[in-house]
Amino acid sequence: MIAHLSGKLLVKQPNQVIVDVNGVGYAVNIPLSTFYELGELGSSVQLRVHTHVREDTIALFGFMTSKEKLVFEQLTSISGIGPKLGITILSGMPVDELVTAIRQSNLARLTSIPGVGKKTAERLVVELRDKLSQLQAAPTDAQSVVASTSQQQEDVISALVNLGYAKNVAERAVQKAGSQLGSGQGFEDLLKNSLQHLSR
């Protein structure tokens, strides 16, 4: 099984990258937290990898940190939570916030993630609260919101829709994030800030 990849970043999207390892391109599904940490195209990248094997497919899921990989594997150990939903959950909030929400039985915070209903949130708390108790969750600071171009806003809306948000909900979040104007905003900043509006 593939557990680690080290190579050159060929393609970078919010939910997937392609890593060139000695001339072979590996498509790897990633959460947004990993996307934010990646460098520019052509830069070297190292990912911790979970290989998911089913009868009809083999899929790779990559993470920048061992904590993300551990939490992903804990999430997907729960009945009814597959790798795709596991990635969506990790994309819904930083891993430390996720661990804190589970340990504190914060169902409202958990159900703010697309695809996570009340029953799924309850299952996360019941099955993972004790398992995740050894992970030290660090507090996270709110990021400042800055502006973007119209094209960037369209790209961010598209990314949010791909992550499971309804288009009208995504549009409102991007408008709120973009309304607080600033200079030099990039795609990643606008995406991160839009997600913060969605999680409130």
| Spatial separation of the C-alpha atoms in residues 53 and 107, rounded to whole Å | 31
Cα–Cα distance for residue pair 77/70, rounded to 1 Å: 11
The CATH class of the 4-63 domain is mainly beta
pLDDT tens, position by position, 147-187: 334 667 778 888 888 888 877 788 888 777 776 544 456 77
What is the Cα–Cα distance from 142 to 139, expressed in whole angstroms? 10
User: Do residues 192 and 185 touch, judged by C-beta distance below 8 A?
Assistant: no
Where do the structural domains in the chain lie, given as residue ranges? Answer: 4-63, 66-128, 150-199
DSSP type of residue 195: H
For the structural domain made of 150-199, what CATH number should be given?
Answer: 1.10.8
How many residues appear in the chain?
200
H or E element in which residue 169 lies: helix 167-179
The answer to whether 107 and 122 are in contact (CB under 8 A) is yes
**First CA to last CA distance, the chain:** 39
> CA–CA separation, 70 vs 73, rounded Å?
5
Residue 29 is predicted with a pLDDT of 95
* Selection from 70, 110, 100, 88 nearest residue 30 by Cα: 88
Burial code (b: 16+ CB inside 10 Å, e: under 16) for 130-163 equals eebeebebeeeeeeebbbbeeebbebbbebbeeb
* CATH superfamily to which 66-128 belongs: 5' to 3' exonuclease, C-terminal subdomain (1.10.150.20)
In this prediction, residue 49 carries a pLDDT of 92
4-63 and 150-199 share one fold:
no
Cα–Cα distance, 44 to 20 (Å, whole number): 9
**Count of other CB atoms within 10 angstroms of residue 2:** 14
Task: Report how far residue 163's alpha carbon sits from residue 78's, in angstroms, rounded to the nearest whole number.
Answer: 21
Low-confidence ranges of the chain (pLDDT < 50): 137-149, 181-183
**What does the pLDDT read at residue 140?**
36
Q: Is the dihedral of CA 67, 73, 76, 77 positive or negative?
A: negative
Confidence (pLDDT) at 179: 66
